[in-house]
Amino acid sequence: MKPTYKKVERVLPPVAPNWVGNGFRVHNFFPSGYKISREMSPFYLLDYNSKIDLSGSEKPRGVGVHPHKGFETVTIAYHGVIAHEDSFGNKGIIRDGGVQWMTAGAGILHKEFHEEKFQKGGGPFQMVQLWVNLPAKDKSAPPSYQDISHEDKGVYESSDGLIKVFVIAGDYEGVKGPASTFTRIDLFDIVLHRGGELTIPVDSFSNTGILVVEGQVKVNKEKEALQDHFVLFNSKGEGDTVKLFASEDSRILFLDGDPINEPIAQYGPFLMNSMEEIQEAMMEFRKGKYGHLE
């Protein structure tokens, strides 16, 4: 049966940026920038720090201690260095191309700052943070970390050398990513050289999107997507293929997953199924059940 293109629903320009703490200047594509969290489930939030050049600073830059419960945070560093630490004693550094996949699950305290040497010296900074929802049955999973360096990713390379697909989670052409997920997710860091053309098979009912991190691509031979734009695809059974053609050297973040068809209640850093569960999470936090972190 001949593949059909998954329909492009919308090409979304970046909204005006806002600061998360004093270290991350982000364009929120969803849920605040565009109301498409339901169309992108299991991905609930996408914050994109487009590329900026930072001067050196003696003052720490980042986000201080804050709680999370009921979901996972996935932080991808394209340029710059981020240091993180949590209330369970985990700490680490995310460098260019690295990924930190944190399962907040039953509750955790966390902080993230620019790594000290990078903070003092400055330089180009670009990153993405995703919130990945957890099904109700997994919202109380024990907190955990997956630290994934760029070298840890699975790699598919085309025979003409114009395409590299770095697989963070899921599978592309038999190449598997290292991340363990609670629901089916494909998360790819794609590098396309000018003239490269990539075909990605998808389920016609899955939720699919791409973020153009660098460059410019033509999607399904019809829609141009510029740097820092997000492309949302139709998930109502129309099409089983996404085709990307690089109009210039480009880098793409590809997201695809099976939706979690459950109620969502969100308040600040908590993502649950009801407001009663949100109130319970807030009470747990106030009682110190998520541990301690300076």
User: Does the pLDDT at position 69 exceed 90?
Assistant: yes
Over residues 76-85, mean pLDDT: 97
Query: Taking 90 as the threshold, does the pLDDT of residue 232 lie above it?
Result: yes
* CATH number of the domain enclosing 122: 2.60.120.10
Inside any domain, residue 57? yes
Residue 218 forms part of a structural domain: yes
Number of domains forming the structure of the chain: 1
pLDDT tens digits along 202-217: 999 999 999 999 999 9
In a domain, 69, yes or no: yes
pLDDT of residue 51: 98
pLDDT at 1 (0 to 100): 67
Report the pLDDT value the prediction gives residue 173, as an integer from 0 to 100.
Answer: 97
Instruction: Look up residue 275 and give its two tokens.
Output: 């407001």
What is the dihedral sign for C-alpha 267, 273, 275, 279? negative
Give domain status of residue 285, yes or no. Answer: no
Number of H helices, E strands in the chain: 3, 26
Share the mean pLDDT of the chain: 97
Percent of the chain residues past pLDDT 90, beyond the cut: 97
pLDDT at position 95 is 95
In a domain, 41, yes or no: yes
Reported as a pLDDT band with limits 50, 70 and 90, residue 3 is confident
Which phi and psi (to 5°) does residue 209 adopt? -155, 160
Tens-digit pLDDT profile for residues 161-207: 999 999 999 999 999 999 999 999 999 999 999 999 999 999 999 99
> Is residue 176 a part of any domain in this protein?
yes
Predicted pLDDT of residue 2 = 77
Q: Is residue 290 part of a domain?
A: no
Would you state the pLDDT for residue 277?
98
Taking residues 28-35, report their average pLDDT. Answer: 98
Q: Is residue 76 part of a domain?
A: yes
CA angle 196/200/204 to nearest 5° reads 145
The answer on pLDDT for 64 being more than 80 is: yes
Where in the sequence is the domain holding 222, given as residue range(s)? 8-257
Contact by Cβ (8 Å): 287, 280? no
Query: What letters, b where the CB count within 10 A reaches 16 and e where it falls short, cover 271-294?
Result: bbbeeebbeebeebbeeeebeebe
